[in-house]
Structure 1
């Protein structure tokens, strides 16, 4: 039972869902959202306010301007992509406090949140989380 309890505590410590992220962004919490995909994917569609730092380019130099006290949230396309996991690993190695967005951009959109970029979607302003 203790191992299972620790498993769930770890999941909550290292993952965030789209509802909780949207609330943090609306509350102006110290959160930096990083799209860990290639620049071309980011240009097509991304979470509003997210910055593009492809996981392959993450280094002390490429993230030097980021607030080290902020929570970093990494994401990618969704469950079929692991750029968010690679980004979370890299950012953790660089000394940041990191969570990975569950379901990535796919679940962000499925939950009705807006996107930005060439393929931007307005989202659903009447989002109600059933969590």
Structure 2
């Protein structure tokens, strides 16, 4: 029998798969799920956290998000310890959300990362907010982490 590339490494036992995928879902949020929550007006229990720079936040952010740039997080934060903080950045190619989530977790907060960042959010056609003055005569800020 010829071995396929896809099965060169055997699939995990179902019990191991349950543990792995449950852990992955405990650490990531899906843009579609977050968008449905926003549409329903039901974001109880979590806050979206933009971990890029204030300039990037001003140009485009997910509605309702707060800006906590990962580079500038103080040791003490005035955040509700009962909430989950869903961090996002530019895209899968950017790790500012990972760095921000790590920094928040190190300070004792529960966190998740938004899969694909604001790029995946916009590609899905979901709305973004911006500050009017941020758009006036300023060139586009890319990742700006």
- What TM bracket, shorter-length normalisation? 0.7 to 0.9
Q: Which runs of 4+ in 1 moved over 3 A?
A: none
1:27-82 CA-to-partner distances (Å, cap 9, x unmatched) read 13121111000111111111111111100112333x22x21111100000011100
Cross-structure match for 1:12: 25
Counterpart of 1:76 (choices 89, 95, 115) is: 89
Q: Find out whether 1:42 has 2:82 as its counterpart.
A: no
Counterpart of 1:107 (choices 107, 116, 120) is: 120
Question: Bigger radius of gyration, 1 or 2?
Answer: 2
Root mean square deviation, CA, Å: 1.4
In 2, the alpha carbon distance for the partners of 1:35 and 1:27 equals 19
In 1, the alpha carbon distance for the partners of 2:29 and 2:74 equals 23
Q: Do the aligned partners of 1:59 and 1:94 also contact (CA within 8 Å) in 2?
A: no
Counterpart of 2:44 (choices 29, 32, 46) is: 29
TM-score by length of 2: 0.75
In 2, the alpha carbon distance for the partners of 1:110 and 1:46 equals 13
5+ residue gaps, structure 2, are 1-12, 136-145
In 2, the alpha carbon distance for the partners of 1:30 and 1:47 equals 17
TM-score by length of 1: 0.82
1:81-105 CA-to-partner distances (Å, cap 9, x unmatched) read 0000001111111111100000000
Q: Do the aligned partners of 1:77 and 1:104 also contact (CA within 8 Å) in 2?
A: yes
Q: Match of 1:92, SS?
A: helix
5+ residue gaps, structure 1, are 120-131
